[in-house]
Amino acid sequence: MTDSNEAALTGTALADSIERLAETEPLVQHLTNEVTMNDVANLTLHWDALPVMADSTGDAGEMAELASAVLCNVGQVPDWKVEAMHEAAGTATDRGIPVVLDPVGVGATPTRQAVAEALLSEIEFAVIKGNYGEISALAGVEADVKGVESIGDYEEIEETARSLAASTGAVVVASGVEDVVADADRAVRLSAGHERLSEVVGTGCMLGATIAAFTGAIEDPYAAAVHGTLAFGIAGERAADQPHAGPASYRTAFHDTVAGLSPEAVADVDVEDRVERLS
C-alpha cells in the first residue's frame, strides 16, 4: 500500500487494501449504539476484521490496549457510555491506535453536540465520518439534522469537510448521495453506492464500522477512508443486483456481498471513473 494520493486511487490499490484487511484481521473495538450493534459487529466480521463491543468503564480501556482501531459512535449517549468512550479513545490515542468518530445525530440536539465536542477536545481522531448535516454541525456551519438524518442542501460540503479536517487533524468523510473524503490538503468526491442503502436502518453506522476496520489495517488513514468508503459503496451496488424482494432481503444481500468482496472482485474496478478530485 502506498501513501501516494494518485496511486491510491486505482482498483489495484483498493484490492490491496482489502487483501491487507484479510491478512491482518484487525481487532476493532466498537463503542456504539444498541440499535445497530448486531449489524455493525457482523459487517466488521464480514470485512475479515474482528469485532468486539467493549463499552463499559474499566473493560473499555483495557480492551483498547489490545485493539487495532477504536470506533466511537454517539448514537446513544448515556453517561456511562460517554465515560467509556473517553476511556477507550484516550487509551488508544496514548498507544498510537487509530480512533474513528461517528457523530450520529450531532446537530439534532445540544446534548449530542456537547458529547462530540468534548471528545474532539480531548482525542486525536484518525477519521471523522458523518453525513453532510453531522459534519456541517461539527464544523460550526448551519446544518439541518432531523433525528439522525441529514436533510437540506449542502452545496459547500467539500469546503466544510476540509475545514473540519484542518481544525481537528483528522481525515473527514462526509457521506451522502456522493461521499466526500478530505484532509487539510486534499479532497475527493466518490461516486459509489445505491439508493437501497438509504432504506435500511444503520447503514451509516455500518459505514463507520467499515472505515474503522480499514483504518485498523491500513497505515495511511486517508487511503483507509477512501478505500473503506469505496468498498462499502461498491458492495451496496452489487447487493442491489442480487435477487431481493425489498429492504429486508437487500440488507441480507448486502452483508453477503461484503463477505464475498474479495481482492480479485474489485481489482478491475475503474476507480478513476468514480473519483472527482476537488481543488
Query: pLDDT tens for residues 82-136?
Result: 999 999 999 999 999 999 999 998 888 889 889 999 999 999 999 999 999 899 9
Domain extent, residue 132, equals 5-272
pLDDT one-digit tens code per residue, 183-210: 988 999 999 999 999 999 999 999 999 9
pLDDT of residue 150: 45
Q: For the residues 33-57, what does the mean pLDDT come to?
A: 96
Q: Is residue 22 assigned to a domain?
A: yes
Query: What confidence tier does 279 reach under pLDDT thresholds 50, 70, 90?
Result: low
> Is 146 among the annotated ligand-binding positions?
no
Q: Is residue 199 assigned to a domain?
A: yes
pLDDT one-digit tens code per residue, 121-179: 999 999 999 999 899 989 888 655 444 444 455 668 899 999 999 999 999 999 998 99
> Is 4 among the annotated ligand-binding positions?
no
Q: Is residue 13 assigned to a domain?
A: yes
Mean pLDDT of the chain, nearest integer: 91
> Is 129 among the annotated ligand-binding positions?
yes
pLDDT one-digit tens code per residue, 234-244: 999 999 999 99
pLDDT of residue 2: 40
What is the Cα–Cα distance from 64 to 135, expressed in whole angstroms? 26
Q: Is residue 158 assigned to a domain?
A: yes
Determine contact, residues 29/62, Cβ cutoff 8 Å: no
> Is 202 among the annotated ligand-binding positions?
yes
Q: Is residue 98 assigned to a domain?
A: yes
Q: Is residue 277 assigned to a domain?
A: no
Q: Is residue 278 assigned to a domain?
A: no
Contacts of 213 (CB under 8 A, 6+ apart): 21, 26, 28, 44, 47, 49, 69, 228
Query: What confidence tier does 31 reach under pLDDT thresholds 50, 70, 90?
Result: very high
Distances (CA, A) of 28 to 39, 45, 77, 257: 14, 10, 20, 20
Q: Is residue 279 assigned to a domain?
A: no
Q: How many domains in the chain?
A: 1
Residue 249: CATH number of its domain: 3.40.1190.20
What is the Cα–Cα distance from 134 to 127, expressed in whole angstroms? 14
